[in-house]
């Protein structure tokens, strides 16, 4: 059976649709990240205005308090008083994540969501460090001695779970394909 040149022509609409879907995916990921940043910054500002520092408000008795603190370190107060280093790391990490989204958009759902959450959380805390010299944390889990955290921190942890789910599902899929 002879092959014709027309057998290899891909319809123009197919190519445009695929190109637009990648553009849409990039836009969606950046939009998700933007909303995470917005929620993070609005929540911090709201707590600052309504509660202020050196006060605590019980939200769910014996479970959750809002207690606004200045965190000059990273997670679990690692690198305390290293704001300049942490600000630089935050900016570079954010630029790397934006580059990944724009140049190498994640192919899997969980990886894409993880990158969006990680960018939102990184920029949320990075904005605080850049403009204030510290990160505002306010969620306090009362029954356990756990560090006080914020929406950006939650977002970063969600990103880690998304990456774990992606690794497990990718590993499971590759095992399935090898059998």
Model pLDDT, residue 17: 53
Percent of the residues in the chain that have a pLDDT greater than 70, as a whole number: 82
Distance, CA of 93 to CA of 71 (rounded, Å): 19
Q: Is the pLDDT of residue 18 over 60?
A: no
Least confident residue range of 7-11, 89-93, 125-129: 7-11
Catalytic residue set: 137, 153
Name the average pLDDT for the chain.
Answer: 86
Contact 31, 39 (CB under 8 A): no
Least confident residue range of 72-76, 109-113, 166-170: 72-76
**More confident position, 43 or 25:** 43
Residues 26-39, mean pLDDT to the nearest whole number:
96
pLDDT tens, residue by residue, 135-152: 999 999 998 988 999 999
**More confident position, 169 or 114:** 114
**More confident position, 82 or 128:** 128
Is the torsion defined by CA of 162, 166, 169, 172 positive or negative? negative
Among residues 160, 149, 87, which one has the least CA distance to residue 117? 160
Model pLDDT, residue 73: 80
Model pLDDT, residue 74: 77
pLDDT tens, residue by residue, 148-172: 999 999 999 999 999 999 999 887 6
Sheet-wide strand order for 64-71 = 56-60, 64-71, 135-141
Strands 56-60 and 64-71 turn out to be antiparallel
């Amino acid at each position: 059976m002879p092959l014709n040149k027309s057998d290899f022509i891909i319809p123009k609409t197919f190519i445009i649709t695929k190109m637009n879907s990648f553009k849409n995916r990039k836009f969606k990921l950046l939009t998700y990240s933007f909303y995470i940043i917005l929620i993070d910054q609005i929540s911090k500002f709201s707590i600052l205005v309504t509660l202020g520092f050196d006060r605590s408000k019980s939200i769910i008795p014996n479970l959750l308090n809002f207690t606004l603190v200045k965190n000059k370190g990273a997670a679990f107060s690692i690198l305390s008083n290293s704001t300049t280093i942490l600000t630089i790391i935050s900016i570079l990490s954010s630029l790397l994540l934006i580059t990944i989204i724009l140049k190498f958009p994640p192919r899997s759902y969980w990886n894409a969501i993880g990158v969006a959450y990680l960018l939102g959380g990184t920029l949320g805390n990075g904005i605080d460090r850049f403009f204030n010299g510290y990160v505002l944390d306010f969620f306090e889990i009362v029954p356990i001695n756990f560090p006080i955290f914020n929406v950006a921190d939650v977002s970063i942890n969600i990103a880690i779970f998304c990456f774990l789910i992606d690794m497990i599902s990718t590993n499971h899929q590759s095992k399935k394909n090898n059998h």
